[in-house]
């Protein structure tokens, strides 16, 4: 039986500057059914507060403790390990790390830096890594769907390039990290076997959630979904839905 719902955002709830049709009503249906919701995103071009303000402007009425971001996870990791960041992130995200003091231990933090993925910035991160800094990837997605509706190269390619050159695997903090899913589930006191993930990314959202121990994961045919994605990664989705409203109908039947 499903007792908690984990929802991806971009491509599932909204695209670009608009909410997807039926998404707000579907979320309201989950709340009316008494199912707690946590929203998890690998978006790293905005701070958590920027995202929260944007999503609430869409009408989501989301609270701070319902939203989980890789930037938030990175701040916790840096605190737990008494480390200061060497940032290779989008300029919008830099302010999220502005108050961290300089410490003896360093960690390279890589997010979706966009146009800041220059040779100079990549080489600066590489030199910090071979000098002993820890390696944190906010996410390692292959692609994302841009505001133009087209797929674009995501941070995963740049993380992989640094891994290749420095000979060290990054610690991935966002999806599909089991710790990321666990934090969301723990916050709503929901066991993995009683949870469901809904996402448009068959690899990070769906297979990632199932590998992290969630019993159910629904792939929606919106956002970055492309024909045949349900068969490209293992484990496959528990169910495939046309959109969030269709996914919620499936969840309510199984709750």
Rounding to the nearest 10 degrees, give the CA dihedral for residues 169, 39, 182, 152. -20
Same domain, 103 and 165: yes
Task: Tell me: pLDDT of 115 over 90.
Answer: yes
Same domain, 128 and 148: yes
Taking residues 134-158, report their average pLDDT. 93
Same domain, 159 and 187: no
Same domain, 103 and 183: no
**DSSP secondary-structure letter at 35?**
-
Domain end: 126, 146, 172, which one? 172
**65 assigned to some structural domain:** no
**213 assigned to some structural domain:** yes
Domain end: 172, 201, 232, which one? 172
pLDDT tens by residue, 160-202: 999 999 999 999 999 999 999 999 999 999 999 999 999 999 9
* Dist CA 231 CA 74 (whole Å): 32
Same domain, 76 and 163: yes
Angle between helices 178-187 and 70-80 (to 10 degrees): 100
Same domain, 34 and 111: no
**32 assigned to some structural domain:** yes
* Dist CA 155 CA 138 (whole Å): 9
Q: Which domain holds residue 187?
A: 4-42+175-253
Cα–Cα distance list, 107 to 115, 183, 223 (Å): 21, 21, 32
How crowded is the C-beta side of 65, counted as CA atoms within 13 Å? 6
**61 assigned to some structural domain:** no
Same domain, 154 and 190: no
CATH number at residue 236: 3.40.50.1000
Same domain, 141 and 163: yes
**28 assigned to some structural domain:** yes
Taking residues 108-124, report their average pLDDT. 97
Confidence band, pLDDT 50/70/90 cuts, at residue 147 = confident
Q: Report how many domains make up the chain.
A: 2
Domain end: 172, 199, 222, which one? 172
Same domain, 28 and 96: no
CB 93 within 8 A of CB 111: yes
* Dist CA 42 CA 182 (whole Å): 15
Confidence band, pLDDT 50/70/90 cuts, at residue 148 = confident
Same domain, 95 and 185: no
* Dist CA 188 CA 119 (whole Å): 42
Confidence band, pLDDT 50/70/90 cuts, at residue 132 = very high
């Amino acid at each position: 039986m499903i007792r908690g719902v984990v929802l991806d955002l971009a491509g599932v709830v909204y695209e670009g500057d608009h909410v997807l049709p039926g998404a707000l009503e579907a979320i309201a249906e989950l709340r009316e059914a008494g199912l707690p919701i946590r929203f998890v995103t690998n978006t790293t071009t905005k701070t958590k507060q920027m995202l929260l303000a944007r999503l609430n402007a869409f009408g989501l009425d989301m609270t701070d403790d319902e939203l989980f971001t890789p930037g938030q996870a990175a701040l916790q990791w840096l605190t737990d390990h008494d480390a200061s960041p060497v940032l290779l992130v989008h300029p919008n995200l830099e302010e999220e790390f502005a108050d961290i003091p300089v410490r003896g231990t360093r960690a390279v933090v890589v997010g979706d830096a966009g146009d800041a993925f220059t040779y100079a910035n990549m080489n600066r991160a590489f030199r910090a890594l071979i000098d002993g800094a820890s390696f944190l990837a906010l996410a390692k997605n292959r692609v994302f769907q841009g505001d133009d509706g087209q797929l674009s190269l995501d941070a995963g390619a740049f993380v992989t390039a640094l891994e290749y050159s420095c000979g060290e695997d990054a610690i991935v903090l966002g999806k599909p990290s089991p710790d990321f899913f666990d934090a969301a589930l723990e916050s709503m006191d929901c066991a993995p076997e009683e949870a469901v993930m809904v996402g448009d990314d068959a690899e990070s959202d769906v297979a990632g959630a199932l590998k992290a121990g969630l019993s159910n994961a629904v792939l929606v045919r919106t956002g970055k979904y492309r024909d045949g994605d349900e068969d490209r990664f293992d484990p496959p989705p528990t169910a495939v839905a046309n959109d969030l409203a269709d996914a919620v109908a499936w969840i309510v039947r199984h709750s």
